[in-house]
Amino acid sequence: MDAIIKKLKTTVPADIAAAPAPSAPRPSREEAEAAVRTLLAFAGDDPGREGLLDTPKRVVSAYEEIYAGYRECPADILDRTFAETGGYDDLVLVRDIPFHSHCEHHMMPFYGKAHIAYTPVERVVGLSKLARLTDIFARRLQTQEHLTAQIAAAIDEILKPRGVAVMIEAEHTCMSVRGVAKHGATTFTSRFTGMFRDNPAEQARFLSMVRGPQR
């Protein structure tokens, strides 16, 4: 597995193997806080009033949390697998994984659920790792389409299963609270690889399980 991870980090796009490398030095915390004060003034408020004095510090701290995915490597999350499966080689599905992310176009939140399935070959990954993988990619500036593709590609490249299926359903606040302001509109995206891409019956089985009754 170590050899696979090493190869992965050198042969696939950086946004799958590891966090993107910045093209310029990262601004200091003080510079980031100054930028927040500028935005507060642009919005029409007074950054110097009592209620906003500590807002720049809070915003920068929040950014460190909600964009933590830039500092984590997806490959490291999936690098531990288990071979003691009793020969299990059918679909593994984790559905209803909650996530929140931010649109790269308006930097506004979008949030929803991810449904992830794969069909293992000899080895499986801990189920919590699929949720952590989702969080790593979600905690970056994203589009839903790119988020869906990244999750599927990472699992496909690292685990080498017989197939991967990913579906994401989400509400985008850049659509629900601004612009057309259509609250409650849900966007669905999906990506299939291997047997899920090539076999319509397997796609249908995945969709049936995702849309099955809530427990």
Residue with token string 């830039």: 70
Task: Say whether 146 is catalytic.
Answer: no
Give bridge partners of residue 172 from the DSSP assignment.
110
Does the pLDDT of residue 22 top 60, yes or no?
Answer: no
Tokens matching residue 93: 């599905």
Per-residue pLDDT tens over the stretch 156-210:
999 999 999 999 999 999 877 767 767 778 999 999 999 999 999 999 999 999 9
Q: What is the pTM of this model?
A: 0.86
Q: What is the distance between the alpha carbons of residues 171 and 55, in angstroms, rounded to a whole number? A: 27
> Does residue 190 contact residue 147 with C-beta atoms inside 8 Å?
no
**Which of these is catalytic: 30, 105, 122, 145?**
105
Task: Say whether 174 is catalytic.
Answer: yes
Task: Say whether 150 is catalytic.
Answer: no
Task: Say whether 106 is catalytic.
Answer: yes
**Which of these is catalytic: 73, 106, 169, 203?**
106
Does the pLDDT of residue 30 top 80, yes or no?
Answer: yes
Measured CA to CA in angstroms, residue 184 lies from 124, 163, 168 at distances of: 36, 32, 15
Q: SS3 for 79?
A: coil
Q: What is the pLDDT of residue 42?
A: 97
pLDDT band at residue 5, thresholds of 50, 70 and 90?
A: very low
H helices of 2-143, in order, are 2-11, 14-17, 29-43, 55-66, 74-77, 127-138
In this structure, what DSSP letter does residue 123 have?
Answer: B
Task: Say whether 104 is catalytic.
Answer: yes
pLDDT band at residue 26, thresholds of 50, 70 and 90?
A: confident
Per-residue pLDDT tens over the stretch 93-152:
999 999 999 999 999 999 999 999 999 998 899 999 999 999 999 999 999 999 999 999
Does the pLDDT of residue 11 top 50, yes or no?
Answer: no
